[in-house]
Structure 1
Amino acid sequence: MLRDGTVPKMSSIDRAEPDAAPAAPRPRNHKARVREESIERILDAAEQLFAEFGYHGVTVKDVAKRIGVSSALIHYHFDGKESIYEAIWARKAPISAHNRLAAMRRYAEEAGDNVTVEGALAAWIEPDLNVHIENHDYWAAIGKISAQANSAAGWGAEKMTKYYNPVVLALIDLLKKAMPDCDEATIFWGYHFLSGAMTHNMAQTGRLDELSHGLCTSDDFASIKRHMAKFMAAGFHAICQGPSQGR
């Protein structure tokens, strides 16, 4: 509360989530550890299957077969396929969201009144690229699942909304600060194009490898990091400064 009794307006960055991601509770005994290990095996297998075949291409029986257990064990831990799918998102998407939000907060504090489009985009883009560079095997499948979800109405859009809307709105706030003369609708269109490009990168389809005859590879996240924010910033500037803005 301010001295005059009013409550300051919070930006999306400030209100999106706590400063630190909550740590997962550690199992207290052997039985709890065995249960958690069983759940992790199920989720690891299911994540790979969803990444490969999509949400509608996977059944509980497929997951059970992948790890060599009965479907009854899967149902002991989960209510069904949607329950497994939700658990996959819940264990990794909040980490991605937290990393991005933390990076944007740091950037906003460092930049002060000198926020740039490229700086804002880099703060939003690079945390996900960094984890792929550092531990690609752990993040590859959820990246592909996110790409599928971002292109799917209903079940996919719901997950993107649930886990990423606060972070997206925080980015929009930064972009508004960087481009105060750009109308809000145009900024949202810019984000729409950015989001599609970002999740396409995460899909790692191999299409780029084939097109370039191996000159470029779709899993070269270091090169994506080097080029993407600059490329996207140019697009934002183009649509915000062009004559068609707001039409």
Structure 2
Amino acid sequence: MSKEYRLALGRAAANMCCDRRTPIRAPRKARPQAERREAATGTILDAAERLFAHHGRDGVTLKAIAAAAQVDSALIHYYFGDKDGVFRAVFTRRTAELNPIREAVMDAYEASNGGVYRITDVLDVFLRPIFETSFDNGEGWANFAAIAGATNASRFGGADLMDEHFDPVVLRFIGMLRRVAPDTADQDLFWFMHLLSGALTQSLAQTGRIDNLSGGLCRSSDVRSILDMMVAVFSRGFEALVAEAKITGREQQC
């Protein structure tokens, strides 16, 4: 892992406050009305985020959000329209911070790798900012990670949110995979991403399933071990996929 890449991660971490409680940073000379709006929307989104993380989108009502935020339901309607508007705002608030961090780390890697792409590095570049941002910055970020994980795995709405907020970074990652193995068929790259996304979704959700299965030997909250294992397992899987494609002739057709 290059020095430039590590510096980019450090800068990204330094720019994160612990569990930010507002959707955007208020200007220094904000008008009182703007300050009240920002405080109110931040309180509502914090409460909604906690509820969505623990009960799912369909298990939460606007009334419950209002009660948790200690505001009148009319205020939520005023700022967000309905529950779907609140759910979308939860995504927008976090991804507005997360995606620039991920892009900056990718930029640093591509600027420092001399044109040589290694699968272990590419996986680390893609995964590490998600884990470090989501689990090193307080309860709110961890809640959002659980929401994103559940949304990505659900058939019942939210696919458009994943497309809107995550597809640009995912497609850039797939482009990096092509640089690792230029002759690999596109369908193999997309299937690889599909399976990686499944493991990532399960890990972000922190269900505790592995805690029970392993009798406490492994814990879903041990994000460092999860990251290391994902890079190790999926890098070997990618190498095997590329080798198998060469043997069977299932490579990209020019």
Query: TM exceeds 0.5?
Result: yes
| SS of aligned partner of 2:215 | coil
Letter in 1 for 2:185: D
- Give the one of 175, 179, 191 matched to 1:173: 175
User: Structure 2 matches for 1:30-49, cutoff 5 A?
Assistant: 30-49=32-51
Aligned-pair identity in percent equals: 35
Offset at residue 69 of structure 1 (A):
2.5
Deviation string, structure 1 residues 5-26 (Cα, Å, up to 9, x no partner): xxxxxxxxxxxxxxxxxx7552
- In 2, Cα distance between the equivalents of 1:65 and 1:86? 19
Q: Is 1:191 matched with 2:182? A: no
Relative to the length of structure 1, the TM-score reads 0.85
Match runs of 1:123-202 below 5 Å: 123-153=125-155, 155-202=157-204
CA shift, 1:227, in A, is: 2.2
Q: Over aligned residue pairs, what C-alpha RMSD do you find?
A: 2.0
Q: Deviations over 1:193-247 (max 9, x none)?
A: 0111111110000011111221221011111222221211111122222156469
CA contact (8 A) 2:183 2:251 kept: no
Is contact 1:120–1:174 with CA below 8 Å preserved after alignment? yes
The corresponding residue for 2:68 is: 66
* Partner Cα separation in structure 2 for residue 169 and residue 207 of structure 1: 30
Offset at residue 57 of structure 1 (A): 1.3
Please tell me whether the aligned partners of residues 47 and 88 of structure 1 are also in contact (alpha carbons under 8 angstroms): yes
Match of 1:155, SS state, is coil
Give yes or no for contact 2:134–2:144 (8 Å, CA) kept in 1: no
The answer to whether the 8 A contact 2:26-2:35 is kept is no
The TM-score with structure 2 as length reference comes to 0.83
Once the two structures are TM-superposed, the CA of residue 170 in structure 1 deviates from its matched residue by: 0.6
Once structures 1 and 2 are overlaid, which stretch shifts more, 44-53 or 230-239? 230-239
Counterpart Cα distance in 2 of 1:112 and 1:60 = 51
Q: List runs of 5+ in structure 2 lacking aligned partners.
A: 1-23
Contact 1:149/1:155 (8 A) holds in 2: yes
Pick one of 81, 94, 97 that aligns with 1:95.
Answer: 97
Could you say which residue in structure 1 is the equivalent of 2:9? none
CA shift digits 1:92-112 (9 cap, x unpaired): 023222222211121112112
Contact 1:147–1:202 (Cα < 8 Å) also in 2: yes
Amino acid corresponding to residue 207 of structure 1 in structure 2: R
Give the total of aligned pairs.
226
Partner residue in 1 for 2:87: 85
Residue 126 of structure 1 and its aligned partner are, at CA, apart by 0.3
Q: For residue 109 of structure 1, what is the aligned residue in structure 2?
A: 111
* Range with bigger deviation, 71-80 or 171-180: 71-80
Does the CA-based 8 Å contact 1:148-1:156 persist in structure 2?
Answer: no
Change (3 A) 1:51 1:144: same
| 1:51 alignment partner, one of 45, 53, 63 | 53
